[in-house]
Structure 1
Amino acid sequence: MKWKRIVLLAFATSLFFPITGNFTAQANSGYQVVKTKYYTSSTPFHAKNPKQNAYLWNVKHTRKLHNLKNYPNSFWTRAKTVILRKHNKSAVYYYVAGVTPKGTSNLYGYVWRGYLKPGYNPNYKVWNGLDINYFLNDKDYQRYINQSPSQSLSRKVLKLFPGTRLSLKLSQLTAYGSTLSDFQKQFTDVIINKNANYAFYNPRGKVTSANEKLSAIKSAFNAAGYDSQKRSALNGYQIGIYYESNRQKGGVLSYDDGYYAGVTVAKPLN
């Protein structure tokens, strides 16, 4: 269960799209690019108002390429920032690549940054396989788990620990396959159950259902002394989880991203 992240692919593609040239003089429009900043990682943004006309332009600002309003479920990854100036007035634009649930390609352009806000598109009902590194906070990741079709098992596992609170940081450490010492830099009383984590995978190539995986995970914790009563008593603990059951369609995702499925329970140091 290792995948190449969707946002990273969109970002890498955007760097080589033909309209990324940096021009110092813009004929016909009066706009000039006076400053450019490039990024080495892809940060997702989504439309601040998905019902508002918000256009992506070519670098000369002479042609509208796309309208954010036409892609209400999409998000946009930023490759660079440019400052455009016209008549001594400046505005900040992002050069972005669009990512749609269906894997639509060739959605590129420059958009005024005021039309965007940080984070994935919050309509997680249509999204699977999002990179765990780009969720904004615990609540954002919780919304993803609550809504995404790929998170059915995650939702079931979280119910096994009713007194815990979902932690994005703990989930990221889990996804990275972190060692106990890595966890202990930020958490204490760390509970890692290797047999439970193995149960997230399909044993020996056999495809198991979410309920079968859940049963194996529950049995592994019971065998380790964490039965229903003890799991319910873990008040003040946080829980981290990473799992994806569905892949994003449209040829966007491929294997091998270095992430690991599993669950970890621990107390924060602070």
Structure 2
Amino acid sequence: MCFAITNYLNVQASSDYQIVKTKYYTSSTPFHAKYPKQNTYLWNAKHTKRLHNLKNYPNSFWTRAKTVILRKNNKPAVYYYVAGMTPHGTPNLYGYIWRGYLKPGYNPNYKAWNGLDINYFLSDKDYQRYINQSPSQNLSREVLHLFPNARLSLNLSKLTAYGSTLTDFQKQFSDVLIVKNANNAFYNPRGKVTSANQKLTAIKAAFDAHGYNQQKRSALNGYQIGIYYESNRQKGGIFSYDDGYYAGVTVAKSLN
């Protein structure tokens, strides 16, 4: 019933809508179109003008800035005020949309996306899909192949990206394996750009030197693996990214 009512609102422009409540957000939570092949519109605040049709932006996701309750004829509906994010940076994609037309999370067509914020992936499976598909994640895919029996963990990947201390890791994991030289190899040395293959060779050599050759890496059954890597985000020779995250890989067992 709610869907039918709001679908009617989506096609009937009217100046009788009133914003009766607003909630603002400090973080930009992403959403994507629930019905990407249907006409679904962003509206102005008075709900009198269609601004954009989500169907025209099939690879986009939409970040929520605030939630409003719009009321017409004493019937409330919850809308999000969103900004559109496209792979090529299309500007000025803003508007209000009924929340029932959106689903949480990034646009799942990760083949079109690079450098997404790790904080907003929904699950291990979601992050794995991104690594499998994103053009920016070729190195991550190859590093994961070095540990064929370890399961990718979004939580462990976040801790890795945050540059967490061993104490932080040990609050949730045991048998934590961090090889500093391997993590440093994700970066370009100062004044030099290394290819993904060169980085992979250096990462593999660092684990070998640490006593974890391929046979031992393959024997890590029951372990989880966390990984974070962004291409083209390094500033100079500093071992961190310009967004404050850190590249690297961590292998560990969950305490749960």
TM-score normalised by the chain length of structure 1: 0.86
- Is 1:56 matched with 2:75? no
Listed as ranges, the matches of 1:226-265 within 5 Å are: 226-246=212-232, 256-265=242-251
Tell me, yes or no, if the aligned pair for 1:243 and 1:262 is still in contact at 8 Å.
Answer: yes
Give the conservation status (yes or no) of the 8 Å contact 1:128–1:246.
Answer: no
Return the offset for 1:49.
1.1
Task: Give runs of aligned pairs for residues 150-165 of structure 1, distance below 5 A.
Answer: 150-165=136-151
Q: 2:162 aligns with which of 165, 173, 176?
A: 176
Which of residues 63, 68, 72 in structure 2 aligns to 1:82? 68
Task: Specify the alignment match of 2:92 in structure 1.
Answer: 106
Residues 142-179 of structure 1, C-alpha deviation per residue, up to 9 Å, x if partnerless? 00000000000000000000010000010000001100
How many corresponding residue pairs? 237
Whole-angstrom CA distance in 2 between matches of 1:156 and 1:241: 11
| Secondary structure, aligned partner of 1:43 | strand
Structure 2 letter corresponding to 1:145: I
Structure 2 letter corresponding to 1:128: N
Distance 1:41 1:209 in 2: 34
Deviation at 1:205, TM superposition (A): 2.2
Matched, 1:47 2:33: yes
Residues 149-228 of structure 1: matches in 2 within 5 Å?
A: 149-228=135-214
Counterpart AA for 1:263: V
Letter in 1 for 2:123: N
RMSD value over aligned CA atoms? 1.2
Partners of 1:244 and 1:186 lie apart in 2 by 25
Cα distance between partner residues in 2 of 1:116 and 1:204:
43
- The structure, 1 or 2, with the larger RCO (C-alpha pairs under 8 Å, 6+ apart) is 1
CA distance in 2, matches of 1:214, 1:156: 7
Q: Distance in 2 between matches of 1:81 and 1:204?
A: 45
Query: In the TM superposition, what whole-angstrom CA distance separates every residue of 1:108-132 from its partner, at most 9, and x where no partner exists?
Result: 0000101000000000001001000
Task: Return the alpha-carbon distance in structure 2 between the equivalents of residues 206 and 236 of structure 1.
Answer: 38
Which residue in the other structure is 1:13 paired with?
Answer: none
1:28, CA displacement in angstroms?
5.6
Match of 1:68 in 2: 54
Deviations 1:59-108 (A, max 9, x none): 00000000110101000000000001101111100000000000011000
Name the amino acid aligned to 1:46.
H
For residue 257 of structure 1, report the CA deviation from its aligned partner: 1.2
One-letter code aligned to 1:69: K
Secondary structure of the structure 2 residue equivalent to 1:196? helix
Structure 1 segments of 4+ aligned residues over 4 angstroms from their partners: none
Unaligned runs of 5+ in 2: 1-12, 234-240
Match of 1:139 among 110, 122, 125: 125
Residues 59 and 194 from structure 1, CA distance in 2 versus in 1: closer, same or farther, beyond 3 angstroms?
Answer: same
> Hey, what does 1:4 align to over in structure 2?
none
Distance 1:267 1:87 in 2: 56
Percent identity between matched residues is 85
